[in-house]
Structure 1
Amino acid sequence: MVGKGNKPSMLASTPGLAPQPQVTFSDDNGRVTAVLPTGESVEVLLYGATVISWKDKNGDEKLWLSKAAKLDGSKAVRGGIPLVFPVFGTAPDHEQTSKLPQHGFARTSRWEFLGKSTSESTPASSTAADLSVKLDFGLSSAGLDSDAKSKWPYAFNLIYSVTLGRESLTTSLVVSNDDDKPFDVQVLLHTYLRVKDISSVSITGLGSATYIDKVGGVSPPQTQSASELTISGEVDRVYTPKDGASPTEVVPVTVVEGGKTKFTVVRDNLSNVVVWNPWVDKANGLGDFEPKDGYKNMLCIEPGSVSGWQTLEAGDAFEGAQTISFSY
């Protein structure tokens, strides 16, 4: 018998080969966890392909997850990074998606784990190798339940990739139209970031952006005049940020807490950013939002393409992504 103090390390591998990222499954095969040799980790629920945990090397959680979140596949997860597809909210006046529930079916469907891949680079500031691991998940029309198929009868394929780095997390979604007719879609990465105190948080990167304010009903488009946005009440805005000096330059959205940059969110081919915090009354009205004062410790920064529709012709594909970086 191997004594407790003499057990080989979980990261031990072929002699001469540097430790590699480890990918494991839960006992019920409902969750996938990836851990870098340096300790960073990500956990993904196959129900909805929902990222439910992202921790740095010290074990500090970067995402907010409700204590009442259902992780048994009975309903969409409150917290983490739920996937919104093919409709944002509800769209009763849009014929193709009018019958779908709020935020569509991607977050309430069971996805298939397609595999992992790793990459290695050498950061400019270090001679140490910087490992990352990418987890791929798939959902197609063939994998939908009968109810979702009846409400959205199109042939499609989704590939969702979650890439864990030393100080970043990238999530990307590829939508393919496998049908013989076009369809319209909206996509959103509904990211719940964890903060210590929402009253000390400011958001930059949205100055001069137009936005729709959804608190109390949908407003006409407005323009944010302030360079920083602070949260002191319920916020539910759909921003269309201005791009940088060139068409390929995207201005990042930065979350600053206590005067220090905490998160930087960079969009790729996603024209909108939803900013959401339920505050007191809305949080109290959400049955799966716990603790009720949890709004003090979370902020949703949600890159997406939701102000209009992406029309995919037969055989076309759409890809959008976000990269979230954090600072210690």
Structure 2
Amino acid sequence: MDRPNRPAALASTPGQPESQVQTTSSDTRVSATLPTGDSVEVLLYGATVTSWKTPARENLFVSSAAILDGSKPVRGGIPLVFPVFGPAPAGSKLPQHGFARNVKWEFLGKSTSEGESSVKLDFGLSWATLPEDWRTKWEHKFGLVYSVTLAPGSLSTALVVSNEGDEAFEFQSLLHTYLSVDDIQNVQIAGLDNSPYIDKVPSATAKTQSGLIAFSGETDRVYSPPTPPSDPVTVQEGGKTRFRVVRDNLPDVVVWNPWVEKAAGMGDFEPKDGWKNMVCVEAGSVSAWTKLEKGDVFEGAQTIYAE
């Protein structure tokens, strides 16, 4: 699929000396560190990014009570939502947000850029490797490849979905990114002005954004910006840019913060005042269903820049 903003593949350069990019892998997680000190860690359960550090700080929020033993999805980091966003449609056997974040993925390997300024980690999941109980809940034959690319000051995540069966299927997908901030009450989000959105608090109401997004209570919104995905969504704190999120072939942006009462009601959300230190800015394709015919492929990606 030819797209102008498609993330470039990284290939090892023959004849280069032993890599200065440090990687470790086990049967539970994979991590990589660049010579600059930037690092990333990915839990194989759900292919969930659980840490992304630049030399200055950790950029992702992960609950101190997050379950990391593969028994339930991780509260924080970047969980993958597929093939359904939110509650499944009537008649479906799938749980909320589907199964991609609920199963163990395979680590497919790494590649580094020439000069070793970047490293790409690839993960895979398919219908053939899906546990039997999940196959009975979603019977479509599919393939997923998830690429996590670490570069100085940025992290890119790209999901490729292929239809490997004989019948078409529909799906939704989302990169459920929890960004770390110092104080949500000092945070504003730019880049979504004039965007229509569905406000889920207190009920699904159609609205249009006017100006910057600010936070003073529980926030759960699905934005469908009229501007191209390549136009950045910017997270500002104290008037200064903290993150820029650039999407590729992902038309929607979910903005979420649980605030006091919802955080208090989530058993795996700690500390209970941790809502002050996070904001979810989630690139996805969730306002409509994406249909894949036999043999078709879909790719969506985001790049997050830490300022």
Give the TM-score normalised by the residue count of structure 2.
0.93
CA drift of 1:242 comes to: 1.7
Runs of 5+ unmatched residues, structure 1: 1-14, 121-128
Number of the residue aligned with 1:294: 274
The partner residue of 2:93 within 99, 102, 112 is: 99
Moved over 4 A (4+): none
Number of the residue aligned with 2:296: 316
Residues 110-125 of structure 1 aligned to structure 2 (within 5 Å): 110-120=104-114
Contact 2:88–2:95 (Cα < 8 Å) also in 1: no
Change (3 A) 1:39 1:178: same
Q: Distance in 1 between matches of 2:16 and 2:248?
A: 38
- Structure 1 window deviating more from structure 2 (300-309 vs 235-244): it is 235-244
Q: Distance in 2 between matches of 1:306 and 1:65?
A: 23
Contact 2:21–2:116 (Cα < 8 Å) also in 1: no
Number of the residue aligned with 2:81: 84
Contact 1:242–1:251 (Cα < 8 Å) also in 2: no
Q: Distance in 1 between matches of 2:233 and 2:89?
A: 31
Number of the residue aligned with 1:21: 21
| Deviations 1:21-62, CA, capped at 9 Å, x for gaps | 111024xx201000001111000000000000000124x100
| Deviations 1:83-126, CA, capped at 9 Å, x for gaps | 00000011333x5xx21000000001100000000113xxxxxx
Question: What secondary structure is seen at the aligned counterpart in 1 of 2:291?
Answer: strand
CA RMSD of aligned residues (A): 1.5
Number of the residue aligned with 2:4: none
- Structure 1 window deviating more from structure 2 (308-317 vs 17-26): it is 17-26
Runs of 5+ unmatched residues, structure 2: 1-14
Number of the residue aligned with 2:214: 230
The partner residue of 1:173 within 148, 159, 163 is: 159
Residues 230-249 of structure 1 aligned to structure 2 (within 5 Å): 230-244=214-228
Which one scores higher on RCO, CA 8 angstroms, separation ≥ 6? 2
Q: Distance in 2 between matches of 1:301 and 1:157?
A: 26
Residue 261 of structure 1 pairs with residue 241 of structure 2: yes
Q: Distance in 2 between matches of 1:30 and 1:235?
A: 33
Q: Distance in 2 between matches of 1:242 and 1:83?
A: 24
Letter in 2 for 1:73: G
| Deviations 1:211-241, CA, capped at 9 Å, x for gaps | 001112211x211122x11111000000001
Q: Distance in 1 between matches of 2:293 and 2:109?
A: 28
Letter in 2 for 1:321: A
Q: Distance in 1 between matches of 2:288 and 2:222?
A: 11
Number of the residue aligned with 1:211: 197
Residue 72 of structure 1 pairs with residue 72 of structure 2: no
Q: Distance in 2 between matches of 1:99 and 1:307?
A: 21
Q: Distance in 2 between matches of 1:47 and 1:16?
A: 33
CA drift of 1:260 comes to: 0.9
Change (3 A) 1:156 1:34: same
User: How many positions carry a matched residue from both structures?
Assistant: 293
Letter in 2 for 1:41: S
What's the % identity of the aligned pairs? 64
The partner residue of 1:281 within 234, 237, 261 is: 261
Question: What secondary structure is seen at the aligned counterpart in 2 of 1:274?
Answer: strand
Contact 1:23–1:35 (Cα < 8 Å) also in 2: yes
Contact 2:84–2:172 (Cα < 8 Å) also in 1: yes
Q: Distance in 2 between matches of 1:17 and 1:142?
A: 38
Rg larger in structure: 1
Letter in 2 for 1:50: T
Letter in 2 for 1:118: T
Question: What secondary structure is seen at the aligned counterpart in 2 of 1:217?
Answer: coil
Give the TM-score normalised by the residue count of structure 1.
0.87
Q: Distance in 1 between matches of 2:19 and 2:130?
A: 38
